[in-house]
């Protein structure tokens, strides 16, 4: 579903991309795969909600999910690709 969201975002079909990313988040949440939720939200923020209130809300959702994960936040930051700081997301 995340791949579908990426493809749709690449075609500038942002509403369908958003739906695909949200479906990926929902499926991962049901399975309690918190880091997969974070990755789907990262892609949603980067490819669809790039600025504004929706971007901020997506980042806050990521921070809430990062709180459920164990391990050093430096590792989480690296796993997110280094562009987003896990500590900053958790503090939002």
Which tens digits make up the pLDDT trace of 8-43?
999 999 999 999 999 999 999 999 999 999 999 999
Backbone CA torsion sign across 87, 65, 49, 75: positive
Q: Where are the domains of the chain?
A: 2-91
pLDDT of residue 76: 93
pLDDT band at residue 61 using 50, 70 and 90 as cut-offs = very high
Helix locations, the chain, DSSP H: 2-10, 14-30, 34-47, 52-66, 73-79, 86-91
Model confidence, pTM? 0.92
% of the chain residues with pLDDT over 70: 100
Helices 34-47 and 2-10: crossing angle, nearest 10°? 0
pLDDT of residue 82: 83
Residue 71 has pLDDT above 90, yes or no: no
Instruction: Please give the average per-residue pLDDT across 71-85, as a whole number.
Output: 92
């Amino acid at each position: 579903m995340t791949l579908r969201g990426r493809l749709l975002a690449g075609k500038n079909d942002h509403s369908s991309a958003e739906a695909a990313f949200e479906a990926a988040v929902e499926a991962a949440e049901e399975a309690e795969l918190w880091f997969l939720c974070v990755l789907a939200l990262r892609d949603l923020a980067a490819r669809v909600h790039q600025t504004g209130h929706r971007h901020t809300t997506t980042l806050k959702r990521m921070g809430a999910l990062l709180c459920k994960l164990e391990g050093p936040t430096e590792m989480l930051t690296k796993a997110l690709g280094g562009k987003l700081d896990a500590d900053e997301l958790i503090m939002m």
